[in-house]
Amino acid sequence: MNSSRVITGALFTFLLTSLICPARAHTIKVGPQQAISSITQALTMASNGDTVEVNGGTYKEGNIIISKSIALIGKSRPVLDGQFRFEILSVKANGVLVSGFQIQHCGQGTLDDPGAIKVYDASQVRIENNDLVDNFFGIYLQYSHHSVIKNNRISAKQTIENQSGNGIHCWKSDNLQITGNHISGHRDGIYFEFVTESVIWRNISENNLRYGLHFMFSGSDAYFSNLFRRNGAGVAVMFTNKVTMMNNTFTENWGDAAYGLLLKEISDCTMIGNRFLKNTTGIMLDGSNRVYMEKNLLKGNGWGMRLQANCVDDTIVRNNFIGNTFDVSTNGSLTLNKFDHNYWDKYEGYDLNKDQIGDVPYHPLSLYSVVAERNPPAMLLYRSFIISLLDKSEKMMPSLTPANFVDPHPLLKPLPL
């Protein structure tokens, strides 16, 4: 038999087997009762595709670097402790999974921004079902693509805004999924900067120092069905385009400069089915253009909506304004936006043809709200008889408020939202 043909045939069989049946992944177990007690040692031994299974206990190993495509799985909730000195997990490989840990006490630093879990230029990373406690930054992604942050609890007790980190921080990334997380006690709950094509869904972000969610220079993103409660302000969308906002709740964001939602220098955004409840200001629009708002509930706020004069071509249709101190205010004498078919609980017009649409157009802008917008100390006169008289006179014969600031078809009944 020709030996060269045997060698060639053996090589072919080896290559074919390798392609069809790649080397089998291994599970490396770590723990006090295991042969391997160090996570770092297990990661050194691991190959791409392996699982490192960490059993219960407390591990103080400084900065743990994951440079291979592995799954790091915690059993019985092992604790990774940074002792307030180290970044705890640094992910530097694609296709990494981190799940099942309590990760606590990472180091602090405003220059290098250490995190409990920090992802460096790695994609298809999954961070799921972890507790992150008392860290500077919770989860930090930079230059990451197609990654998932899901079902984590991220809590801290930060008190000074400029010396605090964010719960979930994403920078120059795309196609992210931020789903089902509970974030509290950070500077911003979730922060997006230069992030595109990403979704934020079913998160709770509360009791954060600045914003529950913060967009900067991002676009073509969406956030759905989230709760933003008792933050410095609920959500800020700034210098950003094409953001879709649906079915979120913004509530109890109180303070002198607090908003349920701040829209600043944005364009071409959509807001549908959101609830703004008990905020100082429900929605603040500043330099916002071509924003479409429909089927939102603004209830029990100080100001339902503050629409600055530098906003153009915004459309506010089929929304409910109920129980707000002021439904709408502005700081200018001209409006270039459209209100139509909204429900206003302060509307006192009539409906002779019984089509559930008021026969008299409604001017939602209170004279007093305009005065207070320009001169905040005027709030001291709120509920005085003379102010009530001026407001009613202005609604009958607008003179100081913009004449085109009007809903021509006010609804007689609230929309079923």
Please state, in angstroms and as integers, the Cα–Cα distance from residue 221 to each residue in 82, 178, 193, 260, 371, following that order. 33, 11, 11, 19, 37
Cα–Cα distance for residue pair 121/260, rounded to 1 Å: 33
Considering only CA atoms, which of 96, 95, 67, 61 is closest in space to residue 80?
Answer: 61
180 DSSP 8-state letter: S
370: CB partners within 8 A, 6+ apart: 329, 330, 331, 400, 401
- Residue recorded with tokens 């900065």: 63
DSSP 3-state of 346: coil
> What pLDDT score was predicted for residue 7?
41
Contact assessment for residue 235 and residue 258, using Cβ atoms and an 8 Å cutoff: no
> What pLDDT score was predicted for residue 348?
87
Cα–Cα distance for residue pair 76/416, rounded to 1 Å: 46
DSSP 3-state of 371: helix
260 CB neighbour count, 10 Å cutoff = 32
Contact assessment for residue 215 and residue 221, using Cβ atoms and an 8 Å cutoff: yes
The stretches in the chain having pLDDT less than 70 are 1-24, 334, 367-402
Residue ranges with strand state E in 151-288: 153-155, 168-174, 177-179, 182-184, 188-196, 199-201, 204-206, 211-216, 219-224, 227-229, 233-238, 241-246, 249-251, 261-264, 270-272, 275-277, 281-286
Query: For the chain, what is the largest distance between any 2 Cα atoms, rounded to a whole number of angstroms?
Result: 112
The class of domain 27-396 in CATH terms is mainly beta
Query: Hey, where are the domains in the chain?
Result: 27-396
* Model pTM score: 0.88
Considering only CA atoms, which of 341, 353, 262 is closest in space to residue 305?
Answer: 262
> What pLDDT score was predicted for residue 226?
98
Contact assessment for residue 152 and residue 127, using Cβ atoms and an 8 Å cutoff: yes
> What pLDDT score was predicted for residue 14?
42
Contact assessment for residue 378 and residue 372, using Cβ atoms and an 8 Å cutoff: yes
408 CB neighbour count, 10 Å cutoff = 13
> What pLDDT score was predicted for residue 47?
96
Considering only CA atoms, which of 192, 188, 189 is closest in space to residue 174?
Answer: 192
Please state, in angstroms and as integers, the Cα–Cα distance from residue 375 to each residue in 242, 285, 379, 383, 410, following that order. 34, 19, 8, 16, 29
Q: pLDDT per residue over 304-340, tens digit each?
A: 999 998 999 999 999 999 999 889 988 877 678 999 9
Q: pLDDT per residue over 48-85, tens digit each?
A: 999 999 999 999 999 999 999 999 999 999 999 999 99
